[in-house]
Amino acid sequence: MKRIMKIVGIGFVLGILMLIIQKTLSIPDDIFLKRYSIVGIFVILGAVLFNLLYNISYNKKLQKAIELLKEGKPTAYIEQMNKIKEKAKGKTLRSVLDINLSAGYYDLKEYDKAIALLEPLAEVKLRDEIRIVWLLNLCLSYFYVQQNDKAMALYVQSKNTCEKFKRMGKYTENIMLLEIFVALEKNEVALASELVERLEKQVTDESIKEELLEIRRKIQ
């Protein structure tokens, strides 16, 4: 929305400048309107094209960084994400990048750093697909640093969101992992064991496999 308003603002300023030029050079209204329309179209198309190219370039850099995380290189991932963040503009974009950064610290088991990035974003307006990632990263990090009360409060508050994404088949493995921690916190060991077995049969994420091994050692 802000970017659209910037384009509108540019158009408004351009319109005033064109009017000044018309009055200064005494250009007839019909000729002025025709040329103004042509210039206006080119300005709008140029702004839209620039925005499109910027997003394509940004997404390429982001995907390249994400590949590092998938390859088990969280330190390199964090370095790359910080470079992207240095040039990022806008509160929402920087918030999304902080959520992405938290995943790197989570993989490094530096949960306090992940929490420090995520907690300030509680009141930031984010799309549901971004909000669920924020929720999962923060909730799981809370459990790992023994801030179980905070983790449970956040889970209860967001339980419907978790169930919604689970039904959609998105972030299912991560949500199931969170449910295991919740079951353990409630001292529902049998349910936790059942969830571990179920998740072990379908998990593809290597980091989650490692977490499941640690959980199994604790409950056996």
The secondary structure of the chain, three-state, reads CHHHHHHHHHHHHHHHHHHHHHHHHCCCHHHHHHHHHHHHHHHHHHHHHHHHHHHHHHHHHHHHHHHHHHCCCHHHHHHHHHHHHHHCCCHHHHHHHHHHHHHHHHHCCCHHHHHHHHHHHCCCCCCHHHHHHHHHHHHHHHHHCCCHHHHHHHHHHHHHHHHHHHHHCCCHHHHHHHHHHHHHHCCCHHHHHHHHHHHHHHCCCHHHHHHHHHHHHHHC
Residues of the chain below pLDDT 50: 1-13, 22, 32, 43-44, 47-48, 50
What pLDDT sits at residue 89? 78
What pLDDT sits at residue 7? 41
What pLDDT sits at residue 4? 42
What pLDDT sits at residue 141? 97
Please state the domain extents for the chain: 1-58
